[in-house]
Structure 1
């Protein structure tokens, strides 16, 4: 391969040779890998790049060279017969450093490739056509003042677009064009450092440095670029404060109040920021206790102010020494250990005629609410001047003070003009004015705060008209309602209420329990309430306060009896829900009830008269009414059991096979033995019945002398075995009362039992 690739050869097989030659295999191929073309070519003719040549080319123009790939036709061209490659225009390596192309040799006549297609590269050869450039700039940097030589400041960097791998076109060297002898730069790294010792910010704070970056290693003919670096010296605390003069003169009137400004002094510190802070203090000595000094944070001035009241008549001139120091002075820069300065301050007190001075800056007084004319307290003011002018007092006008208060003009005592009410206004704020008689233009005001103390004048009351409810199933000790109270009085220590029941009233239904926290509970004293018995209870509650004197009031708490569910939720609280299910009024319900009673009385009277006329027994054969009591405790035969018995047998006693006497008349002269025999006979008759049911038989006996019908009571009991029926018959409750009791057992048992009590005629 030739170094510059001006001419390269490819080996191709000659297809025109005899077949014997075709059998021989000769390894051939490209003998180059890249071409070079110079960038920024300025010639008038196309730039020659290189030549393609095959060893099969005999120079007889039978081989054709072709080129394909990047830029073919627009940038690169090839002579088909010679294989010469040219660049049609100037190239820039910085835009594209190389091009990849493909070359091939083909037969001119057949167009067949003589060799496989091969790839090669045309590389653009760099020239020094780019100067170094600083990507950032201008730069800004800072470094503390008084820094030693070699202190790092900052670093600058320049770049060169030329090829760093070819020649020294991209080799950069840095140098200082402007900024010497204060700063220097390292040629290869671009690091800027301090070059001069003891650079003082107070002398010069800002520097502008120009740095040059040159390629070709800084040699002659190299290209260069520059950048500016603005360097600021930062402050260090290397300067103590200094007074501009040694003595400061000030004047202040004697009437100036404590804390008033007297004047300013100034100590200058050449440093900045926190390094320029100055602390001022008064050196203990003559007059130092009368004044104070502090630092103004914005201006660093020393503010002199009055610490104690001044009096021209007592002292006219004060002088003291003030020390100004730097609290953060760097020990490296202390000159002989001194970091402060001092000055003398002289203050002259000026005489002025002063206004009266009150003994207090403000007054706080207390008085109880009540009648007018009460003395509350007094204010006192004096004339500070030597003449001691008399003082007169007055109240500065406002609707509140003029209405309620007045002041004695000579003594300064304050009293009430009208009665005060703490519940209306708890505090009054008035202003009292003290004026000099000799000079009325001199006066002083003072604020007087008057607090009205409470007098217990209103009794406490229940907070609201409570309407509580209690369930019918309420238990003993159940809380019905929580009570609280209010009071129009406002004691200083707050309200304290006590709850209880009246002493002369013993309530058996409810009681009051005081919880000790200004609340109480209404509790039930018994279990069970009934709306029908009483629907509303009125419970008196006594509430007492903790004032002096103790006041109390009695409130009434309405408690309604309500029907509740198992959870205690109210279902209803009105007896009308029970009495008026159809929406009838109480008057209508009462009228209906009276009509029913009258009808019943008429029916009872008519039946009684009818029986009295006939003098028959209570039950005749026509009146014999029998009821069937049917109960199944287990599964029976269904309809077969029902059809097994004809109820008509009960309706027609004559249908019974045994036509025994069904009626037994008891006359007035029959004794108890006859009654007992009658019952035995009737019981045997019933036992012969074949009915599948337990039958309830009714036996009655009516005496004489009663105007009302007989009354009867029937009770039924079910035993664990077969069905049993208990029957109790009670005769007429007249003068001759007869009572019969019969127990008839079920017919399914073989052991029927009849229990007949011993009955004696005429016994209850």
Structure 2
């Protein structure tokens, strides 16, 4: 309905002619040519009519089941092709092409023409002869003009070259070569029409479609090697077979179907995607570890007419530990000599069907019974997988004549995929008796001994016995090793006696342990050895020692130094230490921040540069210690070190000589004053640089407290220990040694001084605690004889004074005076001020204010 009726005078085409171009197994291509238009019918006998279903690819036409072709709407006819697709008959696919042509011997009335030919189609792989006609290209202007046709572009003068040509007068498009759709699936040429060398229409692209034919068999892609574990579950994916086809993927020519050639009882393949899966759970690597499965791929969805190819899929089974190791024998027996250690006594082979050199195959042996004493060890030979049974601790035939072991063989990997379990076997080891030497029991003897025990002390007895007789008759004992020679061994009894002092702090002792080795020799000259381990018990035989006794204190710093001590004893005979200033300290120093092993020494007041000796008492936790002297040098520092002292070289050669001459003259002057100044009635001012000061006083005699003695006696210089309470700093009661006059001691409110007397006359030699400590320190340096010489000299001088009048006595003897202020920095230059200064030329290193003025006078400006 609604279609334009056929023009008058034209006869409808009732039936068209059908010719079969190609017939294959399931595909028939029919070309129907009709030289009329309107509605017409087509004889489809050769295409098959049973169950025929016909559709048209051109929406302007419809095909009925009886072959009638009708128009579906208004159509202006021209030469055109109608392709009817999907012709199904008895489930067979047919494809027919309907070609409609306008009769050339008729003058037709044109309603409208367009310069737009439809795409043309040609088959690939056409056979000669060439050229072959494809289709006529007609221009609208050909109705009014005489036109000429030309083509250009791909297929003409561009790749692919020289494929197409056109008849310049009729517009017939021809092909000259065989085309391959897999190389060119379509080619678009450009058609032009001209009249008297002038274009009549715009150039038009004409597309020639190269239709596919099934000329390419499918091909495998990728390696066809797959692995799946043995005893896997049904449906487990083994691998995927990959294949491709070069034909048109939109046609059945490229639809591939997969099929297994054999092995279908074990494996399945998906016919559409090529995935291979396990069909059973009985795949056993130990039975067969590899399968070669043929695979066929065929296009046309597997139709027999399709092209095919066959390949081989290699399927390897992976190993799981489904086979436990098994022993080759049900039991084993071996023999081992007694007293043997670290020897191989048995090799035990096993079998394992799993993959060699994997954890499923490697065996791990376990001694599950009979090795409670740890005498045995079993290893594995990595090459043969055999068990290696060793004796690691000696066996004693007299105690054990045979040993029953049970061995179990396991794998490194756990069992899976099987119900089997690990295997075990018994192993009997017979101990072989041998003639043995003496044996110490125990092999290691432990003794506890205090250090410093007296020589000759018996600390224990170490004896050996014959393993066969269990007796010690005829044994002789000797030392094999005794690094410090501390122990003697009694040859006949094995007694251990102290030969030398045992010192726990010795370098031969390790962690308070000292070892000796004892050897026993029986009557048959066989020997045996044993070890005596002596645990040395510590005693408090070491005092704390100050590590560094020479300290440096820099001016302007924190003005303190730390004293560190150590004790070789162990607790409780060592730290924490107790620190306190020693007896006779001068009060210039104090101790602070006392910790376990250290204390801080700090000046109690501002001190000038110089070297100071400080007595320090250090005691351990048990109160065992001694007094030690620490030397502290106060100096100007640079980077923590004292700067070098200025020497006299800075004065020049003339200055040094001048100072030496002045010093000699001054010494002679002092000796002269010793004899001349006694006639002088004026008082001599003396400066005391110590803690005690000589003060002015109206008393010019020896004082009421000095008692004259009619009996001459030697000069006594007594140093009395004065104890100070550590917390309160109060002086305790002073004890006077027996045999000494009471008037030799005088006590002040702050310190103790010692007075020397001779013949009832006081020497006036008052010294503070610091001076007495310096005296003791000086005496400890073997210089006491110098002080004794000075004492004799003073004795003679006092005897001389005793023969003179009282005036001379008062002039030259230092007296006690009340404190009335600080004296001159230069000190006294009296006749007695430099007595006892036995310093040699050392004073040049630290010239004091006494000689500085003389040096400046003598030095050249």
Equivalent runs, 1:277-292 vs 2, <5 Å = none
Partner of 2:597: 518
Cα distance, 1:137 vs. partner? Answer: 0.6
CA deviations on 1:385-440 (whole Å, 9 max, x unpaired) are 2375744444447xx83867654444445566666777662437766353543444
Matched, 1:245 2:332: no
Measured in 2, the distance between the counterparts of 1:409 and 1:384 equals: 20
Partner of 2:227: 141
Aligned residue among 203, 213, 216 for 1:127: 213
Partner of 2:667: none
Aligned residue among 192, 196, 203 for 1:117: 203
Equivalent runs, 1:669-688 vs 2, <5 Å = none
Aligned residue among 431, 434, 438 for 1:349: 431
Partner of 1:556: 631
| Counterparts in 2 of 1:9 and 1:546: CA distance versus 1, 3 Å | farther
SS of residue paired to 1:233: strand
Equivalent runs, 1:594-609 vs 2, <5 Å = none
CA contact (8 A) 2:582 2:627 kept: no
| Counterparts in 2 of 1:171 and 1:355: CA distance versus 1, 3 Å | farther
| Counterparts in 2 of 1:550 and 1:274: CA distance versus 1, 3 Å | same
Partner of 1:152: 237
Matched, 1:383 2:466: yes
Measured in 2, the distance between the counterparts of 1:28 and 1:54 equals: 8
| Counterparts in 2 of 1:521 and 1:430: CA distance versus 1, 3 Å | closer
Measured in 2, the distance between the counterparts of 1:127 and 1:345 equals: 79
Matched, 1:339 2:339: no
Measured in 1, the distance between the counterparts of 2:155 and 2:442 equals: 104
Measured in 1, the distance between the counterparts of 2:576 and 2:132 equals: 116
CA contact (8 A) 2:579 2:619 kept: no
Aligned residue among 273, 290, 296 for 1:189: 273
| Counterparts in 2 of 1:406 and 1:323: CA distance versus 1, 3 Å | same
Aligned residue among 585, 594, 606 for 1:505: 585
Name the TM-score, length of structure 2 as normaliser. Answer: 0.53
Partner of 1:540: 614
CA contact (8 A) 1:394 1:434 kept: yes
SS of residue paired to 1:466: strand
Matched, 1:233 2:317: yes
Measured in 1, the distance between the counterparts of 2:177 and 2:479 equals: 108
Partner of 1:359: 441
CA contact (8 A) 1:368 1:454 kept: yes
SS of residue paired to 1:56: helix
Measured in 1, the distance between the counterparts of 2:237 and 2:569 equals: 77
Matched, 1:84 2:172: yes
Matched, 1:99 2:182: no
CA contact (8 A) 2:265 2:279 kept: yes
CA contact (8 A) 1:278 1:327 kept: yes
Measured in 2, the distance between the counterparts of 1:356 and 1:312 equals: 14
Measured in 2, the distance between the counterparts of 1:434 and 1:218 equals: 95
Cα distance, 1:348 vs. partner? Answer: 2.0
| Counterparts in 2 of 1:69 and 1:466: CA distance versus 1, 3 Å | same
Cα distance, 1:135 vs. partner? Answer: 2.0
| Counterparts in 2 of 1:9 and 1:396: CA distance versus 1, 3 Å | farther
Measured in 2, the distance between the counterparts of 1:492 and 1:455 equals: 8
SS of residue paired to 1:53: coil
CA contact (8 A) 1:69 1:102 kept: yes
CA deviations on 1:60-97 (whole Å, 9 max, x unpaired) are 9x422222333432243423333333444443333332
Measured in 2, the distance between the counterparts of 1:409 and 1:92 equals: 114
Name the TM-score, length of structure 1 as normaliser. Answer: 0.58
Matched, 1:38 2:127: no
Cα distance, 1:201 vs. partner? Answer: 2.8
| Counterparts in 2 of 1:511 and 1:585: CA distance versus 1, 3 Å | farther
Measured in 1, the distance between the counterparts of 2:141 and 2:154 equals: 27
CA contact (8 A) 2:376 2:390 kept: yes
Measured in 2, the distance between the counterparts of 1:122 and 1:322 equals: 85
SS of residue paired to 1:57: helix
Measured in 2, the distance between the counterparts of 1:27 and 1:587 equals: 146
SS of residue paired to 2:483: helix
CA deviations on 1:233-253 (whole Å, 9 max, x unpaired) are 344555565443333222222
CA contact (8 A) 2:403 2:428 kept: yes
Partner of 2:568: 490
Measured in 2, the distance between the counterparts of 1:127 and 1:36 equals: 13
Partner of 1:668: none
| Counterparts in 2 of 1:97 and 1:543: CA distance versus 1, 3 Å | farther
Larger CA deviation: 262-271 vs 96-105 = 262-271
Consecutive unaligned residues in structure 1, runs of 5 or more: 11-24, 592-764
| Counterparts in 2 of 1:561 and 1:221: CA distance versus 1, 3 Å | closer
Measured in 2, the distance between the counterparts of 1:553 and 1:396 equals: 44
Matched, 1:162 2:247: yes
SS of residue paired to 2:550: coil
SS of residue paired to 1:490: coil
| Counterparts in 2 of 1:75 and 1:467: CA distance versus 1, 3 Å | same
Equivalent runs, 1:194-205 vs 2, <5 Å = 194-196=278-280, 198-205=282-289
CA contact (8 A) 1:209 1:230 kept: yes
CA deviations on 1:562-592 (whole Å, 9 max, x unpaired) are 9x9xxxx99x99999xxx99xx989999x9x
CA deviations on 1:528-573 (whole Å, 9 max, x unpaired) are 67xxxx44472514041428742331213233599x9xxxx99x99
Cα distance, 1:170 vs. partner? Answer: 0.7
Cα distance, 1:139 vs. partner? Answer: 1.8
Cα distance, 1:141 vs. partner? Answer: 1.8
Measured in 2, the distance between the counterparts of 1:325 and 1:68 equals: 83
CA contact (8 A) 2:296 2:309 kept: yes
Cα distance, 1:461 vs. partner? Answer: 2.5
CA contact (8 A) 2:321 2:417 kept: no
Larger CA deviation: 221-230 vs 288-297 = 288-297
CA contact (8 A) 1:512 1:541 kept: no
CA contact (8 A) 2:438 2:521 kept: yes
* Number of aligned positions between the proteins: 544
CA contact (8 A) 2:338 2:396 kept: yes
Measured in 1, the distance between the counterparts of 2:644 and 2:366 equals: 89
Partner of 2:40: none
Consecutive unaligned residues in structure 2, runs of 5 or more: 1-79, 84-96, 103-109, 662-861
Partner of 2:693: none
Larger CA deviation: 232-241 vs 90-99 = 232-241
Measured in 2, the distance between the counterparts of 1:251 and 1:575 equals: 87
SS of residue paired to 1:203: coil
SS of residue paired to 2:301: helix
CA deviations on 1:231-280 (whole Å, 9 max, x unpaired) are 233445555654433332222223245x8765455665545656668787
Across the aligned residues of Structure 1 and Structure 2, the Cα RMSD in angstroms comes to 5.1
Larger CA deviation: 440-449 vs 181-190 = 440-449
CA deviations on 1:129-186 (whole Å, 9 max, x unpaired) are 32222221132221332x45544322222111211113x2111111123434332322
Partner of 1:605: none
CA deviations on 1:611-634 (whole Å, 9 max, x unpaired) are xxxxxxxxxxxxxxxxxxxxxxxx
Partner of 2:837: none
| Counterparts in 2 of 1:424 and 1:341: CA distance versus 1, 3 Å | closer
Measured in 2, the distance between the counterparts of 1:293 and 1:586 equals: 89
Partner of 1:68: 152
SS of residue paired to 1:468: strand
